[in-house]
Amino acid sequence: MFKNVIVKRPSRSMVNGITSAPELGKPDYELALKQHDDYIQALKSCNVEVTVLEADERFPDSCFVEDTAVITKNCAIICNPGADSRNKEIEDMKETIKKFFSEDKIEYITSPGTVEGGDVMMVGNHFYIGKSFRTNEEGARQFIEKLEKYGYTGSIVTLEEVLHLKTGLAYLENNNLLVAGEFIDKEDFKNFNKIVISQDDSYSANCIWVNDNVIVPYGYNKTKRAIEQAGYNVIEVDTSEYRKLDGGLSCLSLRF
């Protein structure tokens, strides 16, 4: 069960964030703020303590805190983002994580290795690390090495289509895995109970499990019904403005 969540308020500069889908238009900042408020309320309804960090205008993508670190029960691993414009986001996150972990329980990915937290999926004591445009093989190797110090294991999954591993996957506990696109038939995930998301609704594969609730993006009724049929309580949150920056529900928080 999760006890804590860290989020960071979106900055006005988010309208200049990284995107692979400029055709969706620039984010509406005021609407993004409202959606972030709703996101925080959804998290709080799942009985977690939410730490809210102030916006940082220097970094347009800094509301996507998931990419800065991976937090486990026994340690925190500070990432080394593969996007140059995002690399210094980790400085503030280091100080925040020190409020929860002593220095000897904080690990660091170092260059030439790169890792972004969106490429890391935790399944019990095993971690899947996506090798992507943002997470390289050296970074994944370092990440697994850090995990093993604390009794965890890790394996590398090569991505072919999506930006991050969790763009197309969401682990819902109890061996249930939401899958879309290239992950539907991937050998790495053959032993999971799969909830398959259609290509049309692939954005909704980025959901988050929080203490037996599943937070899903608003407007994807087929995905919502499939998750409800699997026995979960579903909470919908609109993330339309974050989608314009290649972001989704998992990107906006660190859950531990």
The rounded distance, in Å, linking the Cα atoms of 225 and 198 is 13
Active site residue 251: yes
Going from the C-alpha of 78 to that of each of 54, 154, 200, 209, 220, the distances in angstroms are: 19, 16, 34, 22, 33
Catalytic residue among 75, 79, 207, 251: 251
Q: Amino acid identity of 93?
A: M
- In the chain, the largest separation of any two C-alpha atoms, in whole Å, equals 45
Active site residue 36: no
The rounded distance, in Å, linking the Cα atoms of 111 and 119 is 17
Catalytic residue among 46, 63, 75, 164: 164
Going from the C-alpha of 102 to that of each of 72, 75, 96, 156, the distances in angstroms are: 13, 9, 11, 28
| Structural tokens at position 3 | 């006890």
Pairing verdict, β 153-158 and 169-171? unpaired
* Residues annotated as part of the active site: 164, 251
